[in-house]
Chain A
Amino acid sequence: MQVEKEKDLVFKAPKSLKEGVKFPFCPGCDHGVAIRLVAEVLDEFNLREETIAVSSIGCSVMLYDWLDVDIVEAPHGRALAAATGVKRTNKDKFVITYQGDGDFASIGLAESMHAALRGERVTAICINNTTYGMTGGQGGPTTIMGQVTTTSPTGRNEEYYGYPIKIAEQIALCDGTAYSARTSLDSIANIRKTKAAIKKAFEVQRQGLGFGFVEILSTCPTNWRMTPKESHERVRNELFEVYPLGVYKEVTKD
């Protein structure tokens, strides 16, 4: 059936997504959902034309192929340093980073945490899938205890690997942080909550309150060697316990 008028559309792609975008992600990967949510919120706040985004290294590197905003690629881990440079020389612009957990919390932990400590008026979205996806499923900073990866073939143990980082909690401890939350994309309800969290994290930047952060628990079916359904079950059954969902810090304008 041909839709004749735009007003008759009940569902359409956000304007902040590139027209006819086709995400190249593996079946069951949550990246596409997360990027769509970011685009929806950019549309809702009418921010497309004033946004400068910073892409990172990993599965999300080609952010500029999906989001129709101005984008600069940062070297691995340095997205929030680059975002700081963008924002400090363009205070009127809306600045976001979109990073994986390895980028944000391993190689880039110093840049991430110091951006939060300085209270940079930027928003960081971090996709936590407990592995390095693009390089083929190696163990990362968020790999949970016991998790088998290509570099922890017998499972993550304390002796060789130490413990995973709880990113949203750590970022919440920074005085410059205005909003820090952990969400998930395992269900419709949680997808809606994620969108609400992204909105809040955008809002604190718009109001100049400080650093905005959302950690999104996501799937990596290919590297987890699971079906999409099993992957989302793993998020619920294994990750929620280690990485509880919730808002860890929220500063509001009084």
Chain B
Amino acid sequence: MVKKLIKGNYAIAQASINAGCNGYFGYPVTPQSEIGEYMSKKMPEMGLAYINAESEIAAINMVLGACATGAKAMTSSSSMAIALMQETLCYIASDELPVVLISVMRAGPALGYIYPSQGDYNQATIGGGNGDYKIIVLAPSTVQECIDLTYKSFYLSQKYRNPVILLADGLLGQMMEPVELGEYPYPEVPNEDWALTGAKGRAGRAIYSLEPVEDKLNERVEKLFEKYKTIEENEVEFEEYLTEDAELIVSCFGSMTRNVKSAINECRDQGLKVGMLRPISVYPFPTKIISELASKVKKFLVVEMNMGQMLRDVKLAVNGKIPVEFLGKPTGQLIGVEEIIEEIKKQYDAQKDGQSEGALCK
């Protein structure tokens, strides 16, 4: 297929259309406004639903309404604006609606600024809604992955009737890369048994989260967690890079992967046995592989553009078997290849403490 040079935000928008999105409801916020702009042109051309909503709260509730009817609806937003959507995301999780939310992270807290950031890992994976619920979260590292994982987001949302967040950031949203924008590769998932289509020849159906009867509320949550267990068993996706003989594993997600890989290649050239484990699905988190690696390697180093968010999940997976070190910065500041190399060497040396200094790295 001929490759096309395209900006991350446009790639996500076009991939959503290819995936069959028939309703886009959004509110502008940098650095993802191009998604809504693109949709404002394309959706009306195809006679599909597009609304420049009065707020993010309205936008996500329009998505809730649309998806309740079986529509493939979506919204996109950033950081503090996604904070506004948390209540409805929680309803959507409880209602088991197939919603896709594109999160293009910017620097926080609060208004922060539009710099690239990975500060919303916790917001996406833990969320700000009430009660027990989970949202599938996929983290792309390239514009190509923005496309591939947008497709996967639509599919998984339908397959599990669960909200899915594509966790990108300003760096990916604003960057142009050559990509293959192929067709949506997944099958359509039937929704006739639950979607609200008008009670033709049947009793009325309802989609709601209220459960005044204690046992029924328990049942609902237990059913959700049965589903989450299935998701955790079947949908973990990660990238392993040079882990076979590695003594130190660097773990990162999303756009940070790019510099981490360059740093690892450089360290390998210098003879350091370093590898990378990158969660692509950050929920479900690749706990099992990290736990297995923790029995083989000597140390983990987590690198993120935040003050240590995925760090917690890595530590839980490592479960105290080996040290887990951290390299991060307040959101908005990139972590350069040189800085990562330096940290890898520092951690590698410390690990080799007692052996001849400088023998393993110069």
Contacts and interface: CB of A to CB of B under 8 A. Distances in A.
B54 A85 contact: no
A71 B205 contact: yes
B191 interface: no
B62 A85 contact: yes
Interface stretch (B11-19, B66-74, B217-225, B264-272): B66-74
B295 interface: no
Interface stretch (B108-116, B193-201, B317-325, B345-353): B193-201
B88 interface: yes
Interface string A154-185: 00000000000000000000000000000000
A192 interface: no
A111 B69 contact: no
B69 A86 contact: yes
A48 interface: yes
Which has the most chain A C-beta neighbours within 10 Å: B55, B64, B87?
B64
A82 B210 contact: no
A85 B197 contact: no
A177 B69 CA distance: 25
Contact of B22 (A55, A89, A93): A89
Contact of A85 (B65, B199, B206): B65
Main secondary structure of the interface of A (DSSP, over half): mixed
Contacts of A74: 61, 64-65
Contact of B206 (A73, A78, A88, A94): A73
A243 to B, nearest CB: 26
A133 to B, nearest CB: 16
B203 interface: yes
A59 to B, nearest CB: 12
Interface stretch (A26-34, A62-70, A142-150, A195-203): A62-70
B204 A69 contact: yes
B4 to A, nearest CB: 29
Which has the most chain A C-beta neighbours within 10 Å: B23, B51, B204, B209?
B204
A51 interface: yes
B61 A75 contact: yes
Nearest to A76: B87
A239 interface: no
B209 A85 contact: no
A55 to B, nearest CB: 7
A166 to B, nearest CB: 21
A36 interface: no
B199 A82 contact: no
B307 interface: no
Contacts of A85: 23, 25, 49, 61-68, 71, 73
Contacts of A73: 91, 95, 206-210
B51 A70 contact: no
Contacts of B55: 110
A99 interface: no
A126 interface: no
A82 B71 CA distance: 13
B341 interface: no
B199 A72 contact: no
B106 to A, nearest CB: 24
B210 A81 contact: no
Contact of A81 (B49, B62, B209): B62
Interface in B56-88: 57-59, 61-69, 71, 73, 87-88
A111 B25 CA distance: 13
Contacts of B73: 85, 89
A78 B57 contact: yes
A96 to B, nearest CB: 12
26 contacts: A49-B199, A50-B198, A51-B199, A55-B208, A61-B208, A70-B205, A71-B207, A72-B64, A72-B65, A72-B68, A75-B91, A78-B58, A81-B53, A81-B58, A82-B62, A82-B68, A85-B25, A85-B66, A88-B23, A88-B51, A88-B62, A89-B49, A90-B71, A93-B69, A93-B198, A94-B198
Interface of A: 18, 48-52, 54-55, 61-62, 64, 67-75, 78, 81-86, 88-90, 93-94, 110-111, 114, 118
Ordered nearest first, which 9 A-B pairs have the shortest CB separation? A85-B65, A64-B206, A82-B65, A85-B62, A81-B61, A73-B208, A85-B66, A89-B71, A88-B49
Given A49-B200, A75-B91, A84-B58, 19 more contacts: A51-B198, A52-B198, A68-B203, A68-B204, A70-B205, A71-B205, A74-B65, A81-B62, A82-B65, A82-B68, A84-B62, A85-B62, A85-B64, A85-B66, A85-B71, A85-B73, A90-B69, A94-B198, A114-B58
Interface of B: 22-23, 25, 49, 51, 53-55, 57-59, 61-69, 71, 73, 87-88, 91, 95, 196-201, 203-210
